[in-house]
Structure 1
Amino acid sequence: MQHSTFKHMLHVQAVHNFFPTPLLSSPGACMRWMCLLLSSILVLLPASLSHAQTCSQDIPLCTVGGWQGHADVAASTYTHGLAYSDVVHVVWEDRRADSLAPDIYYRRSLNGGYTWEPEVRLTFTGTASSPAVAASGELVHVVWEDNRAGKHEIYYARSMDCGRSWSRPVSIAPGHASSLNPDVAAVTVYSLITGSKSYVFVVWEQGSTGSREIYFARSTDGGETWSTPQCISSDPADSKDPSIAVSVVQPFPAVPPEVTVHVVWLDNRDGVYEVYYARGENAGSSWSTCTRLSYSSGNKQKPTITASGNAVHVAWADDVTGSYEIWYMRSEDNGVSWLSRVKLTSAGAAGGIARGPSMWCSGSNVHIAWYDNRDGNLEVYYMYSVDCGSTWSGEVRLTSASGTSSLPSIAATKDIFYVVWMDARSGEFDIYFKSGFHQATLEKVYMIFRENTKVVVGSWVERPNVWPAATIDTAAAALVGYSLGAYGLSSFLAVFDSDVVDPNTLSWLDSSSNLISLGGPAVSLVSYKLDGSMGISWSTPSPDVIELTVDGHTWQVTSADEGVQDYFVVYITEDSGRFILVIEGATGWGTLAGGMFLMKMLQDTPGTIAGKTLAVVKWTASTPGAVTPSDTFTVAYTRS
């Protein structure tokens, strides 16, 4: 129950519609049933994070012994039964079997990096190294350098089922010896005229040191066949360390998409290594002349490139200031012209160097990771931009374990990023993973509340009808646990509101745990404490009316609406360094419907709440007196 206005506002019948239960004929019986439900569905969570974070813990992906390194990561939004979880793909070079003859290994996660499937060995002969991975829907593409034929060539393998099974490795450029350091990009496009088409693009350096060139090959059928390799650097000087990206511009589905390939590399045609760029128009069928992007007296290392729409972003390491820092440039017209370079890092000011940038963008969100030693040890750092590179966040250190952390690779979908790197905390180099985001919004509850979470139900025994209210809110808690369980969670800690908020002073008794709170301010101390600061108020303008006001907007629920329709608020906030999700209805029906809404939200992405921190939702029952998945949920108001 949220308010005591209606004499019979809450019915345990609502709980019966979800779970078979004994007859609830008294508060004592109700309490016993509630405790049974809590213990059977929501159990103690192991000790975990001590505070809310925008990054996950470091997750070891491979610690089998030997040397593992040169990892690369990709993410795809292939729908596999969960609305929000990305599929994350990681490849790396692995020397566990032979320190002189590494193999390529692959591993995937189907829930955004929370749990991982067993690793898969992709190569079994020769020396395979420097892997790169790209993903587009169900298609996953991996390239690497391989000497199985007696000379280094670029080999390729693909999965057509999101990494479940893999093709036999093939050379995409037979006879092209001394081919090293490949990179890959992929995209699947669709138009009403041409239908669906899957492109794969690969670049690499080829030749002897001092006279290497950048070569390019493409597939227009998802990796089934490949074009004849072509040189795109076209200069007798040395060219090395290529990076590739692809962008798509398509104003309308009826218009064939404009697919552009972007490549950067280091080139010493001017006497020192500088960053050069070339653009492949019409999906790489024709190439622009090479454009020099960097002009400085410093040494440059490892350029990286990413693109989305007409925006193209490039970063590299440069020691022009006396120590290596990460520098950045961007184009707003698909690589035709470039804005001035910007120094992103400040490692030199602390006596360190910053190297090895890796970058990814999704829409206007740009992510970059690198490693530097400003704190005395090589660590992985991260920055982001939400306005297409116009402004940047501060530098965030992602790693802090003993041993060096280096050579990160980053991928992202929207503003959720995934990073892998080489890590020597065990004494040998292993592969580690971390995910994160920079804005807590409603659709991220599956990430935010994976760790250190308590589900809170009301326990204000001095208020009328509290036990029925607590029971129905517990049913909503069960829905929350079930919904998040689909994303890999197995347990929560369920508590009463008086365990986390002092009833007398309204001070926090628990300020370290993430909270998911069920129930409005007449039942939940969490709602009672937070609603005012969130711009939410409840009132009873007449005995038969409950009124909800949010940001000056008002909605009403009457006694005739009980069990038929309701309004509920769901919001996410950060308090005391941890995250809190609150679901509260005008009546208990609304809170229970809010739990159902969360389940539906995590099963089917609702665009109306994506990127929002608060939503007011109207619930309409398909069967009066019950809350079911077939009910109607209408988003009435949102707040970013």
Structure 2
Amino acid sequence: MRGWAKLLGLLVSAAALLLIAMLSLSAGASDPEFVQDTFVEFRQGTPDRVDIWSEPGLVKLDRHWWLDGMVNDPLSVSPLTFLPNDREYPRLSFAFTTTGGVTQTVFFAVWHDERNGDTNPDIFFDRSLDNGHTWTTDITVTDAAGFQTHPDVTFLKTEKAVCVVWKDGSHNLGFAKSYDAGNTWTVSTIYTSSRQVFNPRIAPHGQSGYLYLVWGEATADGYPGRLYISRSGDGGATWSDPITLSVTALQRATPPSAASLAVDASGNVYVVWKDTNPSDSIYFTKWISGSEWSEAGWSSPVLLREGILSPPAITIGPNHAIYVAWIERINGDYAVVVASTLDQGVTWVSVQAAVPVSANDLSAPDIGADSLGRVYVVWYESGDGNIYLTSSSDGGASWLPKRRVNSAGGKPAAYVAPAIQAAFTGEVVVAWHDYRHESPGVGSQIYATGYPSDRYFSWGEYLSPVFDAGSLAAWDTITWTATVSPGTGLRIATRVMTEPGASWTDWYTYTSSGESIPHPSGRFIQYRAVFTTSVVTQTPVLDEVVISYRQYRIFLPLVLKQ
């Protein structure tokens, strides 16, 4: 009996030793770490009123947008007070200027304008050096007889020239170019048709100097029925014969455009448009640089979506990413949808992106992207008559909550697309025409807002991605590197999840870098950084976060055979 007891004791002791061996912790010199200190790593988290873009590798409070303000010169009253005297349909572009070694972004705006009181709109131009906050004195691009409407603007880098195109009367396309930032203009008629022309759009290829121009033309019944494109290799002096992109019944759309045009860094050209075959559909076509410039050189139109409610807008992001935005109805309600492709339109991913589905009538989106990968969408919403914006920092996979662009007293034009322009370095301007000053002889005015302003938000939060240790781990320390100036604050907290599907622990907030992590062992950990400031011109700056831990190692038992 005592032999059996002795054997049982040996077995218990062996089991205990085996359990200790199987769950032993790895040693400290090579302890694994979760590290965030680069832009690529920080963009995997979720910023809320926090800026991870302007200085890649740093996290700080984001800045406010400027309060919207008037772009055109102060109000003027039409001598014929029964006329609307409207300023309408702004479009935007940008360029860089360098003075004394300092590079600055300059935004350009064009619109058509009835201020001369002859019921025939003219084309006007303006520019801003402070991200849309203030604008210079208006400059006339053309005040020729007849209607000059629906302009578009771009900057031709190879010639350092601002280029503007517009609908000239009913059958012509006008073109103007300025070599002195818009102060003086050379104006010409570049195309005449026997049919009505509609909604020209222009885009450059910065490296080659080519200009590309797309527009619609009417069929016999007066509605746009063909979509054309042309290009110029000499700065707009001469243009190629028009190439037909679509011969179906192109839908007349609420201005400014039924077609949208974009050119990537390699010189590839992409066009999207709204068509009626089948009903209210979006089509996409492309021309790959180096291909023959002819109708055969363009790809066959690809149907992206049926049943849409607005003309589409297109933009190019980093790494040749293409984004297209439109409005459609989902289960009877309205939604902003963004489709993206990383393979030049071979495959597309569509998401109900910008806002939750809304019962309000949404219309007329525009889209822009900067070189750091932020994508912006703006649109008009009829429920409260405002313009809204949202943005994505992860290529359109997720979107921030929408924010109103115009101020509370604004009255944006209904069902008309606001214009958005994102510069390469992160500045953004949005413009629209607005009826807040409407009265006899005073019509709509051009308004704009921009980002960033000179003021930081007073509060912001950065939520890290969830770090997965791969198995059960014991947490060691959390350290961070930051600059916290007087009047600003930074608080770091962590929480842990033991296994997939389990609940998170409560957040634990640390008082200083290098503290031990008090959470129980687990597999997943996440940190939160809360930024504050009471000085609107100052922000705390987070540079690096390191979480160290030790993994449990499982050792198989040694089995001895007798």
TM over 0.5, shorter chain: yes
**Could you list the per-position Cα deviations for residues 536-578 of structure 1 after superposition, in whole angstroms to 9, with x for gaps in the alignment?**
xxxxxxxxxxxxxx978xxxxxxxxxxxxxxxxxxx9642594
TM-score where L is the length of structure 1: 0.57
Query: Paired residue for 1:290, among 301, 325, 334?
Result: 301
The whole-number CA distance in structure 2 between the counterparts of 1:109 and 1:531 is 34
The whole-number CA distance in structure 1 between the counterparts of 2:211 and 2:238 is 10
Q: Report SS of the residue matched to 2:205.
A: strand
Query: Paired residue for 1:242, among 259, 263, 268?
Result: 259
* Residue identity in the other structure for 1:342: Q
Deviation at 1:217, TM superposition (A): 0.9
Instruction: Tell me if structure 2 keeps the 8 A contact 1:275–1:300.
Output: no
* Residue identity in the other structure for 1:143: V
Deviation at 1:87, TM superposition (A): 0.5
Structure 1 pair 574–60 and aligned structure 2 pair: CA distance change class (3 A) = farther
The whole-number CA distance in structure 2 between the counterparts of 1:354 and 1:411 is 20
1:398-417 pair list within 5 angstroms: 398-406=405-413, 407-413=417-423, 414-417=425-428
Structure 1 pair 329–57 and aligned structure 2 pair: CA distance change class (3 A) = same
Q: Report SS of the residue matched to 2:407.
A: coil
1:343-358 pair list within 5 angstroms: 343-346=353-356, 348=358, 351-358=359-366
Aligned to 1:426: 437
Instruction: Tell me if structure 1 keeps the 8 A contact 2:489–2:533.
Output: no
1:495-534 pair list within 5 angstroms: 527=485, 530=488
The whole-number CA distance in structure 2 between the counterparts of 1:132 and 1:184 is 6
Structure 1 pair 227–576 and aligned structure 2 pair: CA distance change class (3 A) = same
The whole-number CA distance in structure 1 between the counterparts of 2:250 and 2:92 is 31
Q: Report SS of the residue matched to 2:289.
A: helix
Instruction: Tell me if structure 1 keeps the 8 A contact 2:71–2:446.
Output: yes
The whole-number CA distance in structure 1 between the counterparts of 2:101 and 2:308 is 46
Matched, 1:140 2:162: yes
Instruction: Tell me if structure 2 keeps the 8 A contact 1:233–1:239.
Output: no
Report which of the two structures shows the higher radius of gyration computed on alpha carbons.
2
**Could you list the per-position Cα deviations for residues 38-71 of structure 1 after superposition, in whole angstroms to 9, with x for gaps in the alignment?**
xxxxxxxxxxxxx995200112112334211111
The whole-number CA distance in structure 1 between the counterparts of 2:491 and 2:485 is 10
Aligned to 2:11: none
Task: Give the aligned CA root-mean-square deviation in angstroms.
Answer: 3.2
Aligned to 2:149: 129
Matched, 1:188 2:188: no
Aligned to 2:462: none
Deviation at 1:579, TM superposition (A): 4.4
Aligned to 2:240: 227
The whole-number CA distance in structure 1 between the counterparts of 2:389 and 2:209 is 31
Deviation at 1:235, TM superposition (A): 3.4
Deviation at 1:323, TM superposition (A): 3.8
1:330-409 pair list within 5 angstroms: 330-346=340-356, 348=358, 351-363=359-371, 364-374=373-383, 376=384, 378-406=385-413, 407-409=417-419
* Residue identity in the other structure for 1:436: Y
The whole-number CA distance in structure 2 between the counterparts of 1:127 and 1:575 is 52
The whole-number CA distance in structure 2 between the counterparts of 1:379 and 1:405 is 6
**Could you list the per-position Cα deviations for residues 97-145 of structure 1 after superposition, in whole angstroms to 9, with x for gaps in the alignment?**
1363111100012343343221111112221001111124432211110
Structure 1 pair 577–354 and aligned structure 2 pair: CA distance change class (3 A) = farther
* Residue identity in the other structure for 1:130: H
Deviation at 1:638, TM superposition (A): 12
**Could you list the per-position Cα deviations for residues 570-611 of structure 1 after superposition, in whole angstroms to 9, with x for gaps in the alignment?**
xx96425944158xxxxxxxxxxxxxxxxxxxxxxxxxxxxx
Structure 1 pair 372–165 and aligned structure 2 pair: CA distance change class (3 A) = same
Deviation at 1:436, TM superposition (A): 1.5
Deviation at 1:354, TM superposition (A): 1.3
Structure with greater helix percent: 1
The whole-number CA distance in structure 2 between the counterparts of 1:70 and 1:431 is 8
Deviation at 1:380, TM superposition (A): 1.1
The whole-number CA distance in structure 2 between the counterparts of 1:215 and 1:281 is 17
Instruction: Tell me if structure 1 keeps the 8 A contact 2:112–2:151.
Output: yes
Matched, 1:319 2:322: no
The whole-number CA distance in structure 2 between the counterparts of 1:531 and 1:317 is 41
Aligned to 2:106: 87
Deviation at 1:421, TM superposition (A): 0.7
Instruction: Tell me if structure 2 keeps the 8 A contact 1:345–1:354.
Output: no
Q: Report SS of the residue matched to 2:312.
A: strand
Instruction: Tell me if structure 1 keeps the 8 A contact 2:227–2:250.
Output: no
The whole-number CA distance in structure 2 between the counterparts of 1:433 and 1:325 is 24
* Residue identity in the other structure for 2:263: V
Instruction: Tell me if structure 1 keeps the 8 A contact 2:202–2:261.
Output: yes
Aligned to 1:448: 454
Structure 1 pair 576–294 and aligned structure 2 pair: CA distance change class (3 A) = farther
Structure 1 pair 333–78 and aligned structure 2 pair: CA distance change class (3 A) = farther
* Residue identity in the other structure for 1:301: S
Deviation at 1:347, TM superposition (A): 6.0
The whole-number CA distance in structure 2 between the counterparts of 1:405 and 1:236 is 30
**Percent of paired sites with the same residue:** 26
Instruction: Tell me if structure 2 keeps the 8 A contact 1:324–1:353.
Output: yes
The whole-number CA distance in structure 1 between the counterparts of 2:167 and 2:375 is 29
Structure 1 pair 530–90 and aligned structure 2 pair: CA distance change class (3 A) = closer
What runs of 5+ residues in structure 2 fail to find an aligned partner? 1-60, 78-84, 460-483, 494-511, 515-529, 547-562
Aligned to 2:502: none
The whole-number CA distance in structure 2 between the counterparts of 1:267 and 1:145 is 21
Q: How many residues align?
A: 397
Instruction: Tell me if structure 1 keeps the 8 A contact 2:432–2:448.
Output: yes
Aligned to 2:76: 64
Q: Report SS of the residue matched to 2:310.
A: strand
Matched, 1:436 2:451: yes
